[in-house]
Amino acid sequence: MANDLEKHPQRAQKPVEDHLRTDVDAALQLLRDRGSESGTLDPEQNRRLLRRIDLHIMPLICIVYFLQYLDKIAISYASVTGIKTSANLRGTQFNWIASIFFFGQLLFEFPTIRLIQLFPLAKYVAVNVIIWGTILASLAACKSFASLMVCRALLGVAEAAVVPAWVVFTSAWYRKEEQAFRVGIWFSMCGFAQMFGGFFSYGVANHVGGDVQAALQGWQIIFLFLGLLTSVVGIVFWFFLPDSPLSAKFLSTEEKALHAERMRQNEQGIGNRIFKWNQFWEAIRDVNTWLYAFWVFAANVSNSTATSFGNILVTGMVYTKKESLLLVTPLGDIPIGWTTILALQSTNVAGSTKKITVTSIGVIAYTVGNIISPQTFQTKDAPRYLPAKISICILYFLITVDLYLIRWCAVRENRRRDKEREELGDKYVVEENHEFLDLTDRENKEFRYAV
């Protein structure tokens, strides 16, 4: 593959001393410490590095995302394994227990923007995983509406960091052309979690938690098992996942430098822990931020069909509660095919603070969609829930329009930048090592949006 200089020989570079400061990307600091700010990477070295990264990074990311989704939707399995009776839930109380998780997530999303940059990334996520595992296990002791509300809200707070952290991880470890596939892999864990959860809870309902006189009911066993498993994974995560490529023990110093060189063509760097207000405000003003956010919001208004209310809807179709646990498992196939669209936030947003901000706004849109979602399925509309179904159809149409707008904006901006470079000719100059100056996608003239 020809590098960018070969593709655009008219581009000149100029050294910029004012960027010799501490707020540059971590990769450039590594290259400077090594005594070289430019180098080469042959295809075989790149393949070897990519294999090692996949082997050490992807399994843990996938396991944690699998558990994050499974733990979140465990309330759906609890709904048909006795929690309503044990906690004496009435009317719309279960709806609010499903929704309050997303209020907690929404409340903590903006603090997450800062905390992800302030603390070592993997360690911060590991602590959150251990905390939410403990909270999930504690749900087994909740036998009132109030206690369930508190624990579910705290669960949402603890899970707020995962999606922004994983987007940052993906962009720090993988090139643009590699990111969509990897994001698709870890996000597809939602589907596998949905399928596993259905089979697991069916087994619990049939063989463990069926006795109403037992010390532990089926829903309590589900919460205890998943919560304790998650906490153990969080401890493993603390010790084995590096905070960044620069702290990875499975890479030598030479390999770290080669990885930094490998990431040069991303025009994004691999990370910076300084919070930059100009990048934050650029994210707020960028129309793409809100186009991404609307897509996430609209897609997740219908999310309760497969999460909090999947089992309830199926039991309304004359199936038994146990049968519903199996019948919702095919819903897990749905996310596996289309999740690569979520790589846009990893691929098309540059600048450490801006990337975290855009991703966090996307998660906020996700939580708002999920807050609204359970309220669209009102008891008075059972069993057909026609108003909710009509709303979902309208939103899917708007999602299609939104995706076309995202593509149109990207193509237009890429053409504008190409035209500017062509018109300036020899006068077109970019900053030396601009790839590692922690520039945003708007500031970096060499950045091109993936379509």
Domains with residue ranges and CATH for the chain: 21-436 (1.20.1250.20)
Write down the mean pLDDT value for the chain: 80
Pick from 420, 419, 426: nearest CA to 10: 426
In the predicted model, is pLDDT for residue 333 greater than 90? no
Q: Contact 211/339 with Cβ under 8 angstroms?
A: no
Average pLDDT over residues 354-368: 85
Which percentage of the chain shows pLDDT scores above 70?
A: 75
Q: Which residues contact 87 (CB under 8 A, 6 or more apart)?
A: 142, 143, 144, 145, 148
Strand partners, 143: none
Q: Residue 77 has what pLDDT?
A: 84
**pLDDT range class, residue 309, cuts 50, 70, 90:** low
d(CA 349, CA 363): 15
Q: Which amino acid is at 242?
A: P
Spatial separation of the C-alpha atoms in residues 25 and 165, rounded to whole Å: 17
Under the banding of pLDDT at 50, 70 and 90, the label for residue 30 is: low
Q: The whole model's pTM is what?
A: 0.76
339/410: higher pLDDT? 410
Interval 65-82: pLDDT, tens: 999 989 988 988 888 788
Which candidate, 56, 67, 24, places its Cα nearest to that of 274? 24
Specify whether the CB–CB gap between 117 and 56 falls below 8 A: no
**CA pair distance 171, 174, nearest whole angstrom:** 6
Query: Is pLDDT above 90 for 23?
Result: no
Cβ-count burial 380-413 (b if 16+ within 10 Å, e if not): eeeeebeebeebbeebeeebeebeeebeebbeeb
Q: Is 50 exceeded by the pLDDT of residue 163?
A: yes
Burial class (CB in 10 A: 0-12, 13-18, 19+), 373: buried
Does residue 100 contact residue 149 with C-beta atoms inside 8 Å? yes
pLDDT band at 335 (very low <50, low <70, confident <90, very high): low
Looking at per-residue confidence, does 110 or 375 come out higher? 110
pLDDT surpassing 70 at residue 271: no
How many Cβ atoms are within 10 Å of 192's Cβ, its own excluded?
18
> Which range (55-59, 192-196, 235-239, 370-374) has the least confidence?
370-374
> Rounded mean pLDDT of 352-374?
83
What's the confidence (pLDDT) of residue 212? 62
- Residues 171-224 have pLDDT tens digits of 888 887 788 788 888 888 887 888 888 888 888 888 765 566 667 888 899 999
pLDDT given for residue 187 in this prediction:
81
**pLDDT value at 444 more than 80:** yes
Which carries the bigger pLDDT value, residue 439 or residue 332?
439
